[in-house]
Copies of this chain bind each other. A is one copy, B any other.
Amino acid sequence: MPSIEENLRRLGITLPPAPKPVASYIPFVTVGELIFISGQLPSREGRVAFQGSVPQPISLEHGQEAARLATINALAILHEACGGQWQRLGRIVRLSVFVQSQPDFYQQSTVANGASDLLLAVLGESGRHARVAVGVSALPLNSTVEVELLAAIRAA
């Protein structure tokens, strides 16, 4: 079975540096075996790369890319939460995907697959998760999506 590092390499994904704590909230909180990760935007080098609602001005395909990019940012934080050791990851538990949507857009699940499929491709079976996908009218910084991840550390 390929390792998570091998999967990332094969997919051409380099995890960015995990964002530093800003203001009064922090990138993640661990309690018991649960790791709660703050909502992530599809940002790259500090700038939101996908802005606006789906399907206009952001296409369905770009919406999926946005969900994938936000999930990469969440994985970077998760890696740090695991102390840089993927073998400490138990599994992904829950994924929430908020999609900035035009009122007549109903394919939030398809957008969210950009996040779900990435988790499966990178983490294999331990990437499977419960999911919530909803459409919202506005997101911080006009972001196209916001992705929240809940994971579990491997029981010692």
Partner-B contacts on A (CB < 8 A): 21, 23-29, 31-34, 36-39, 90-96, 98-99, 101-109, 112-113, 116-117, 119-120, 127-143, 146, 148, 150, 152
Contact = CB atoms under 8 A, between A and B. Distances in A.
B109 A140 contact: yes
Given A29-B93, A116-B25, A119-B24, A136 B139 contact: no
B31 A33 contact: yes
A24 B138 contact: no
A26 B39 CA distance: 21
10 contacts: A24-B113, A26-B130, A31-B34, A31-B93, A101-B138, A106-B140, A106-B142, A107-B140, A135-B137, A135-B140
Given A24-B116, A127-B24, A129-B29, A134 B106 contact: no
A96 to B, nearest CB: 7
B138 A26 contact: no
A9 to B, nearest CB: 20
Given A23-B116, A107-B140, A141-B106, A36 B135 contact: no
Counting chain B CB atoms within 10 Å of each CB, the highest count among A21, A128, A132, A141 belongs to A132
A151 to B, nearest CB: 9
Contacts of A39: 131-134
A103 B137 contact: yes
